[in-house]
Amino acid sequence: MARIGAPILLLCFMYMSQVTSEQAFLHVSNGTSSKEYCVAYNPSWTNLSASLGGAVPYVLVNLTSSTLCNGSGLDPGMLVGKAVVVMRGECGFVQKALIAQALGATTVLVASRESLGTPSANQTDYRELKIPLALMRYGDIQDALEVFPEGMTVLLYDPPVPLFDLSILVMLAIGVFTVAMGGYWSGAAEREALSSALTIFVLVMCAVLVLMYFFYRWLVYVIIVMFCLASAMALYSCLNALMDRLGCGSCRFPCLGEAASDAVRTVLLASVCVTLAVVWGVYRNEDRWIWVLQDLLGMAFCVNFMKTITVSNFKICFILLSLLLVYDVFFVFITPMLTSNGESVMVQVAVGSDSNEKLPMVMKVPRFSSWDQDTCGMAFSILGFGDLIVPGLLVAYCHRFDVWINSTKKVYFVSCTVAYLSGMVFTFARRCGLAQTPAPSLLDRYQDQLRGGGLREPLLQEDQNVIQ
């Protein structure tokens, strides 16, 4: 069961953890009072002021009765020097914005009844559009019309977000702990011949990712259900092993017998795990607190995954990581050249298209620097499960190799874990400082783990030479 669903679940881990829609603030005022709303915009089209004082206010014209897919029926000077809000639908964002631009508008707001995603189009549209375009919730514009019935001025600004946040350190600790625990628990697993299935494994991942790209709105619920089931089983497996190790839950009921006593513990523990998974499923969109439960289930899932899905030797591990690296690079860097809107398939799946649902395969920690920013909701530092599981397979193999050669100091396990830690530190440092475009995380962690002469021995050893 675990092996059948592995390609489907693993591909969901591989999308970029830093992919999010660009959000900004819409400041609405009537001269005496003001209010702010959250909007989504595309930085490729629009350069917004970094401060409220540096933004230029414009009078807002309400055209939510129109989608502005053509300029017929509008007075020629109606939009000159003003901002305009129109409804989403019937035509693309760029067509609306270009029509408004031709009519003299200075800013275009598109009211949407759907989720706020980053507006996208092809490179030609980027060059033609000269005015700001942003997407806002339909409920927000209705609220603004009620608060400011006599008219309003609006301005857009995007305050800078601190590059470094303490939540990154928490995320680093979660990542290293999860990988180390998964690798250590994996232990001396039996060797299995998986090399013949590696190519098929990665091809299945590619196929499912493409299906997610075209049918995200429906398949996302399948992934959510699979995550609930898999995380409940994983949490049970982890807690059951922990209780055995600590000697907890070993009491017996003489009236029930030994077998029935074990069944009572199993039922109680399973009930707790299933309840936690169901609670997450019901309240998965409650950002204020559900991230704690999602991280708990996610850690259990990753640890159990690394214990269950094993590779038989270092060469197979090397081939698997190489194939996944090619997969990651292709769907991040190559697919933008093939899609009509210039966005990568992986970015589109990660953002979630127009669905309100997001794939749950991430660790989330609220950014401490944004606790007071409630307009656009809580901001999170996010780490994809793929950034844990894929390198974790190598860490797990190194620990098994230590067991096979009776290494009391766990040299390979410790070395590989330290290499993963250094890769994580480098990745976070690069994203905080240099990287402004999506890049496969495996480019960082993969290099650090495979670098160094200490891995020469497991690479050259054949299965039959490591018997004990």
* 85 neighbors 153 (Cβ within 8 angstroms): no
Q: How many CB atoms lie within 10 A of CB 258?
A: 10
Q: Among candidates 24, 29, 63, 23, which has minimal Cα distance to 144? A: 29
- Per-position DSSP letters for 215-263, written without gaps between them: HHHHHHHHHHHHHHHHHHHHHHHHHHHHHHHHTTT----TTT-HHHHHH
Q: How far apart are CA 31 and CA 27, in angstroms?
A: 12
Q: What are phi and psi of 324, to 5 degrees?
A: -70, -35
What whole-number distance in Å separates Cα of residue 98 and Cα of residue 130?
9
Active site residue 402: no
- Give every CB contact of residue 314 below 8 A, 6+ residues apart in sequence: 397, 401, 455, 458, 459, 461
In the three-class reduction of DSSP (H, G, I as helix; E, B as strand; rest coil), residue 123 is classed as helix
Instruction: Please identify which of the residues 125, 158, 328, 448 carries the catalytic annotation.
Output: 328
Residue 213, helix vs strand vs coil: helix
- CA contacts within 13 A on the Cβ side of 253: 10
DSSP state of 369: G
Q: Beta-strand (E) ranges in 321-465?
A: 362-366, 380-384
Distance CA 388, CA 174 (A): 10
Q: Tell me which of 140, 165, 295, 387 is the catalytic residue.
A: 387
- What is the DSSP annotation of 187-199? -SPPP---GGGHH
Q: Is 328 a catalytic residue?
A: yes
Cite the active site residues: 328, 387
